């Protein structure tokens, strides 16, 4: 399959590159050329985006990139909407002009967190600028592209020491710095999502005519605290690192953007279609740590 992937310079783009199928012809681009396999493109530049896709003539357009820092989005709402919403409208126009399917990546963060868990048909209620900007992109794709795949990710992990910017990285880098005590919130629930598994499952969907919106997260309902405890155990540090359970207010100054207390998704539609390839989060976390973090953390703590 011939695929164009825009905004591929981050965690998820690395996951797509890592799991790329033999035989696929894929062009990856980003405004930050942080890898040799990335072409230069700022997808907010409509004319440049359109020209790049036209030159490659893909069968599918995957729109990955977004501002994912909730705090940045709260402080810079215009840039957040320009990147997370208006650029999606660029992708919509390009996909429709070329009559090709569009893939858009959404997030579990678009819900208000008042339910215990959310399936694919639950009604979003975004709390902050980031969540609203992503949900507006989701709505635009649903309303304007006949053939689309919208895939909602949970707590993303992937990209290794260099590219991972999320929870696993924050804990991992504290451990690399020699921390023997970690403060982890005990009031945030969700579902981890390994970028490799997400990319593989999405690629499987592209082989089908099952267009629509899908939750796509690892299996198992968990919490930030439980993920942190499991991470320390898998790294063999549970006897040397103490974990303190703290409320979110403990980090209120650093993480001031509104966040739902619960972002737990279930892949109901993938299950019903027999297309759920996502592994349990513990298995995925183990493989991710073994591949990208364990040796680096061990070396840093010993050195």
Q: How far apart are CA 56 and CA 98, in angstroms?
A: 11
User: Are the beta carbons of 184 and 244 closer than 8 angstroms?
Assistant: yes
User: What's the DSSP call for residue 124?
Assistant: P
User: Are the beta carbons of 273 and 210 closer than 8 angstroms?
Assistant: yes
What residue segments make up the domains of the chain, in order of their start?
Answer: 2-163+192-220+259-279
Q: How far apart are CA 232 and CA 247, in angstroms?
A: 19
pLDDT given for residue 303 in this prediction: 75
Mean pLDDT in order along the chain per 10 residues (303 residues):
97 96 97 95 97 98 94 97 97 98 97 96 96 97 97 96 94 95 95 97 97 97 96 95 94 90 97 97 97 95 84
Question: In terms of Cα–Cα distance, which of 303, 173, 158 is closest to 235?
Answer: 173
For residue 155, the cross-strand partners are: 192
| Pairing status of strand 222-223 against strand 189-190 | antiparallel
pLDDT given for residue 252 in this prediction: 85
Question: In terms of Cα–Cα distance, which of 3, 64, 5, 8 is closest to 32?
Answer: 8
pLDDT given for residue 270 in this prediction: 98
| pTM of the predicted model over 0.85 | yes
CATH class of the domain at 2-163+192-220+259-279: alpha beta
- C-alpha radius of gyration, the chain, whole number: 19
């Amino acid at each position: 399959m011939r695929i164009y992937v825009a905004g591929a310079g981050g965690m998820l783009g690395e996951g797509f590159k890592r799991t790329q199928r033999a035989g696929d012809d894929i062009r990856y681009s980003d405004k930050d050329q942080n890898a040799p396999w990335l072409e230069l493109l700022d997808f907010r530049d409509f004319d440049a985006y359109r020209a790049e896709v036209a030159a490659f003539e893909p069968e599918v357009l995957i729109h990955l990139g977004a501002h994912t820092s909730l705090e940045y989005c709260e402080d810079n709402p215009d840039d957040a909407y320009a990147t997370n919403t208006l650029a999606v409208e660029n992708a919509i126009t390009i996909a429709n002009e070329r009559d090709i399917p569009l893939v858009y990546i959404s997030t579990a963060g678009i819900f208000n967190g008042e339910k215990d868990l959310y399936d694919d048909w639950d009604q979003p209620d975004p709390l902050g600028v980031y969540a609203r900007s992503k949900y507006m992109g989701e709505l635009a794709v649903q309303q304007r592209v006949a053939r689309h795949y919208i895939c909602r990710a949970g707590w993303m992990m992937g990209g290794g020491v260099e590219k991972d910017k999320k929870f696993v990285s924050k804990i991992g880098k504290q451990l690399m710095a020699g921390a023997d005590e970690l403060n982890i919130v005990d009031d945030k629930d969700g579902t981890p999502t390994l970028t490799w598994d997400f990319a593989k499952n999405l690629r499987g969907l592209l082989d089908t005519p099952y267009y629509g919106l899908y939750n796509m997260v690892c299996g198992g309902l968990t919490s930030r605290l439980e993920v942190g405890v499991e991470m320390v155990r898998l790294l063999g540090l549970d006897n040397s690192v103490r974990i303190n359970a703290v409320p979110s207010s403990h980090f209120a100054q650093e993480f001031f953007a509104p966040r739902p207390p619960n972002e737990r998704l279930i892949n109901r539609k993938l299950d019903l279609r027999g297309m759920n390839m996502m592994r349990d989060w513990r298995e995925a976390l183990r493989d991710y740590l073994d591949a990208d973090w364990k040796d680096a953390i061990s070396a840093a703590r010993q050195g």
